[in-house]
Structure 1
Amino acid sequence: MKLVGIDLAWQGDNNPSAIAVGDLSNDTLILQAVEPALFSLEEVLRYVRSLPKVRGIAVDAPLVINNETGQRQCERAINRDYADRKTTATSANLTLYPDAPSVQLSRGLEVDGFSLFDGLRWQVECAQSPAMIECFGLSERLQYKSGKVNDKKVGQIRLAGYLQRLEQSPVLKLVIPPFFKNNLTTEKIASLKGKALKENEDALGAIMCLYIAALYEKQVPSKLYGTPNDGHLWVPTQVCL
């Protein structure tokens, strides 16, 4: 069963989006491909549409925005549960993002037959940082996308370590083939800089989204914040290590 994870740059085309593709069979998810640098909504949709027989997609970006100002209800709820663990949701509203690429992506996926949450093909908005906290049993947010360069490298090394430990997960094993294995080593991440460091960051995020998609398909214990109609965030609450 083919699944997709998208770490979407939803606030414009200046930053790249990343996509990870995998195959889920029973309790094993095999990483099949990673595309770390897509610079437009059109490129993201074109890539997804080139994949045959995709069952589901998890996206780290707001797929539905109906509120004029402030935060979506799902964002406020996430903040109540995770603010003390140093993670909060980015505010999404129509004043800030009247035509958000993430919403356009969701609508394009709906045209392709991917319904929000259910159906033969589905799309779901995931909350990546809370999911990491739950899946890895962390006390607080795993910082790998912000701060100084060295801080980002340390965060990537930590995330890469957790992803590798998922190869022995009693819940859902993640198999990372040789084509990407080197990107998870401490030596490789420590050597990265500039564009290469950013691409590796996004690739790791996309792989995490892919893993979340597989957990969604497996229907592990979870919590849904909000609703499909007004914006939602899905968080697996299953410790996977």
Structure 2
Amino acid sequence: MKIALTGAGGKLGQAILPMALAESHQVVAIDRRLPELPEGVAGHNVEMSDYEGLVSAFSGCDALIHMAAIPSPRGLLDHQVHANNVVGSYNAMRAAVDAGISRICQGSSVNAIGLAYAKERRFDYFPVDELHPPYFDEGYSLSKWICEQQAESLTRRFPDLQIASLRFHWVVADRAEAMAAQTLTSEKGRIELWGYVLAPDAARACLLALTTSFTGHEVFYIVADDTTLDSPTAEAAAAYYPDVAWRNGPEERAAFFSNAKSRRILGWAPIEY
């Protein structure tokens, strides 16, 4: 498969690229500032606002992994983040259609329901799954939700199009990095539900989203099965979210998010590294 990869210079893009090559895919790397690329990998310096440039860069590709977006709103204005992510996502996916691509994976976020950057967090139940309603109140989370709706719209318009929106948690190189920042009493842990995902696992989910067949647009949580805590999940839930009911569990150190849909449809699950 020949894969167009936007955001090839980003943290996740640089995990996807070598994995795709190792699985014998061809990759066309696209970014406004490209990293040094492996021999034989074509690169294009293209802004997501350059629609015709995207169509040209995608020419001849079979699939698109769209990772070019603002990964965090910190230090930026809401309207800047919103405009960048929403317009970039639409341009990339719509340009892919014009280039003849029928399989797309776009990076979404656990924040699509409102999480790390919300003024207040609201959860109807645990573990959070793809049916949980959104309660966002700021531009970044709103942008991620709209990007998913854009994918839904495009698959209605083009019935042969398949799009996966992957709701990644905090992408880290190893669990120790996440554990250090998300302790039981840290604000970061509490507001992000002590979640993370390892970069290789996130990269593998992107490739599975392209090589697994399903119909239309689907949203998937891509989160580690455990938390960053060595203590039982039930203790953290009782201390900070005592009024939120669990639909099942929690098991000893189970995550506050469900990967059941990703397992069922994509065959994805975190791996011990």
TM-score in same-fold range (> 0.5)? no
**TM value normalised by structure 1:** 0.38
Larger Rg: 2
Greater RCO (CA < 8 Å, at least 6 residues apart): 1
- Larger proportion of helix: 1
Report the TM-score when normalising by structure 2: 0.35
- Structure (1 or 2) with the greater strand fraction: 1
